[in-house]
Structure formats: structure tokens, C-alpha cells
Amino acid sequence: MSDLAPHPLHEPILAWYDEHARELPWREPGASAWSVMVSELMLQQTPVARVLPVHAQWLERWPTPADLAAEPTGAAVRAWGRLGYPRRALRLHAAATAIVEHHDGVVPETYVDLIALPGVGDYTAAAIASFAYGRRHVVLDTNVRRVLARTTGGIEFPGTSVTKAERATATALLPLDVPTAATWSVAVMELGALVCTAAGPRCGDCPVADLCAWRAAGHPAYDGPPRKAQTWAGTDRQCRGRLLAVLRDSHAAVPSSRLDAAWADEGQRLRCLASLLEDRLVVRVDAGSYALP
DNA sequence: GATGCGTGGGA
DNA sequence: TTCCCAAGCAT
């Protein structure tokens, strides 16, 4: 390879990945760009283990963007199951529709075309361009940010949002060789997912432990702003989830009495139902019943 | 830049 | 049990 700017982190992490990478369907040599794209949307804030079965079902049922685009959006919401954040299902459907309409049904290759799609932000655009098409992009997800914060920044956790300095570091670290750059990105992500985890780093298994600034400093405790705990019990999110679960589990329109039974607080229930309608995750069938779109 | 958005598994 | 959080995005 023609890596003109090798960094001491490169070889150990690339070698570690070669040895320890998980075999995942969207990493198979024959995996389509669509398979990669579906996986990336599903993996946004959702663990790999829960994505695996749903991803397999989606790819079997909808092998191409056109297959998904041909279905009503409610089919995508239902097939999303319990992955969480069901608006992602709508966005994936909308992205499939846009791909059919503007890209001849083929997942686009460039960052600019990708990030224009619904549900595709900076991370996902860079990930699809890199992992599906082998392009060279800085891929900054929570794993990469944590690994870099520790190895080069000497701190336990990155800040709440990506800083210019952080992006500059990641850019400087990205191998110049194009195919190696894509492998590097997935390798650092994998290291963060399997070894350099948020819960507790396993430095004994880390290929770059002896190069890690945070470890060299004696693992100083995180001293940034408190990471706000996600409240859950009694929130609108929980209420929306309950209401949508009732609709997902029924193929027929659901009378509002069944929604009433799913959430006791009427004011909150009505507010959440209204927001689900606003989000197009639910439609009103008639005066007293609702369904998936 | 801060918020809101689901879910279920592990420590 | 309770808490934390897992490959973010849109507003």
C-alpha cells in the first residue's frame, strides 16, 4: 500500500482488526450497499445483537431500495419491530424512495449525495461511502471518538459534540491509502465496541495500550460535565412507545379504547397520539380508530 | 448547542 | 434494583 503518512497506531490496530473483527452480514464481501445502508440506520443508537435478526428480515423482504419504496410506510414501521426510534423506519423508507427517484434505485456513492438522504447525517454518510464503496472519509462515531479521546487526548470520554480539534485529529490519523482508510475506520470502531468500551476498557486486550495517553496518565477519572441520565419512566417517549406497540401488534385498525388501556394518563396519551400523527407514524382511520400508515 | 426521540441488556 | 447506555439525526 502507498501509505505516505503512517502513524504508530495504524499497524497495531489494523492487525488487531484483521484478527478480531466480528463476522457481520453487512461486512460480508458480497454485501450490497443497500445492506450496509440498512445496517447503518438500524445501528444508530441500537446494539448490534438486536439489529442482526431484523436486518436479516429486511434484506430478505426488501433486497433493494425499490422493493422497500414500493411498500406503504406502515410496513417499514411494523417490520422495524422493537428496535426503537421508529422514525428511523420512516426515514429509511423515504431514503429508499429518494434513491429510486433520483439515483436509479442505486444507493449513491458520494458523501454529498448520501447526506442529502433522509436519516443520513455526517456519520452515516461517511460510513456508507467508506464501508459500501471503499471511499476515504473521516468516520466519527461514538466509538471512534472515545478511542481517540483516550489514545491521543488522554481523557476518558469525548465531549458532547465533535470539536474542530477532534476532527483535525481524526483527519490527520486517516491513512492516505484509500482502501486502507476504510478499513482503518471500521477497525477503530470495532476496537471501541469490543475493547475500549465506555463501561470499562480492557487494556489487557488492547493492541495500542502502550501507546495510549489516557493509560499513560494513570486512567484519570472523567472530569467533564455530568452526562445526563436519560429519564424514561413516565416520559412521552415511553408513552409513544406503548401506543405504537399496540398498533404494531395489530394488523387491523385499533379502536381508541385499546389505546386508552395502554396508557392511563389521558392528557399525556392524547398529546402523544397527536405527536405520533404529526410524525406520520400513525394515521387516523376514522373517528375512533387508528393504524400504522 | 441543547433537546427529544425507543428499547432492552448488562453491570 | 437501579443506572447506564448502544455504529445519531433532525430541529
CB A127 within 8 A of CB A117: no
| pLDDT tens, position by position, A151-186 | 999 999 999 899 999 999 999 999 999 999 999 999
Q: What is the residue type of A12?
A: P
Last residue of a domain, one of A131, A158, A183: A131
Look at phi and psi of residue A280 and say left if phi exceeds 0, alpha if psi is from -120 to 50, else beta.
left
With CA of A242 and C1' of each nucleotide, the nearest comes out as B6
Range of the domain at A77: 32-131
| Whether the predicted pLDDT of A2 surpasses 60 | no
CB-proximal positions of chain C, under 7 Å:
3-10
Q: How confident is the model at residue A224 (pLDDT cuts 50, 70, 90)?
A: confident
Instruction: Give the mean model confidence (pLDDT) for residues A23-33.
Output: 97
Beta-strand pair A283-286/A254-255: unpaired
pLDDT at A233: 79
Distance between the alpha carbon (CA) of A283 and the C1' atom of C6, Å: 30
Residue A204 counted as domain residue: no
Q: Which of A131, A151, A169 is the last residue of a domain?
A: A131
* pLDDT of A222: 86
Residue of A265 and A233 predicted with greater confidence:
A265
A3 touches strand C (CB under 7 A): no
For residues A132 and A241, give the distance between their C-alpha atoms in angstroms, rounded to a whole number: 32
Residue type, A127: A
Q: Which nucleotide is nearest to A82 (CA to C1')?
A: B7
CATH number of the domain residue A85 falls in: 1.10.340.30
Query: Is A203 a domain residue?
Result: no
Q: A154: Cβ under 7 Å from strand C?
A: no
Answer whether residue A189 is part of any domain.
no
Domain assignment present for residue A126? The answer is yes
User: What value does the mean pLDDT take over residues A219-231?
Assistant: 80
A58, part of any domain: yes
Coil, strand or helix at A291: strand
Determine the pLDDT at residue A234. 85
The reply to whether A220 has its C-beta less than 7 Å from any atom of strand C is no
Element (H, E) at A290: strand A289-291
A91 sits within 7 Å of strand C by its CB: yes
Percent of chain A past pLDDT 90, that is, above it, reads 91
Number of domains observed in the structure of chain A: 2
pLDDT in tens, A13-24: 999 999 999 999
Predicted confidence at residue A69, as pLDDT, reads 98
Q: In this structure, is residue A258 part of a structural domain?
A: yes
* Residue A74 located in a structural domain: yes
Residue A40 has pLDDT above 90, yes or no: yes
CA of A291 to C1' of B10 (A): 35
Task: State whether the beta carbon of A85 lies below 7 angstroms from any atom of strand C.
Answer: yes
In order of A26, A55, A293, the CA distances from A289 in angstroms are 39, 31, 12
Q: List, for residues A234-276, the tens digit of each pLDDT value.
A: 899 999 999 999 999 999 999 999 999 999 999 999 999 999 9
d(CA A116, CA A184): 25
**Distance of C1' in C3 from CA in A8, Å:** 37
Contact A280, A76 (CB under 8 A): no
Of A141, A18, A95, which is closest to residue A27 (Cα–Cα)? A18
The SS3 assignment for A286 reads strand
The pLDDT mean for chain A works out to 95
Average pLDDT (A147-154) is 96
Instruction: Give the separation between CA A193 and CA A183, rounded to whole angstroms.
Output: 15
The reply to whether the CB atom of residue A197 sits less than 7 A from any atom in nucleic acid chain C is yes
| A211 occurs within a structural domain | no
Catalytic residues of A, which ones?
A: 40
Among A84, A103, A131, identify where a domain stops.
A131
Strand B nucleotides below 7 A of a protein CB? Answer: 1-9, 11
Nucleotide nearest A145, CA–C1', reads C7
Residue A39 has pLDDT above 50, yes or no: yes
Query: How many other CB atoms are found less than 10 A from the CB of residue A247?
Result: 24
Residue A230 has pLDDT above 80, yes or no: no
Q: Are A96 and A66 in contact (CB under 8 A)?
A: yes
Q: What is the pLDDT of residues A90-135, one digit of tens each?
A: 999 999 999 999 999 999 999 999 999 999 999 999 999 999 999 9
Residue A254: per-residue pLDDT: 98
- To which residue does cell 472523567 refer? A222
Cβ of A240 < 7 Å from strand B?
yes
pLDDT the model gives residue A4: 57
Residues 179-208 of A with CB under 7 A from strand B: 199-200
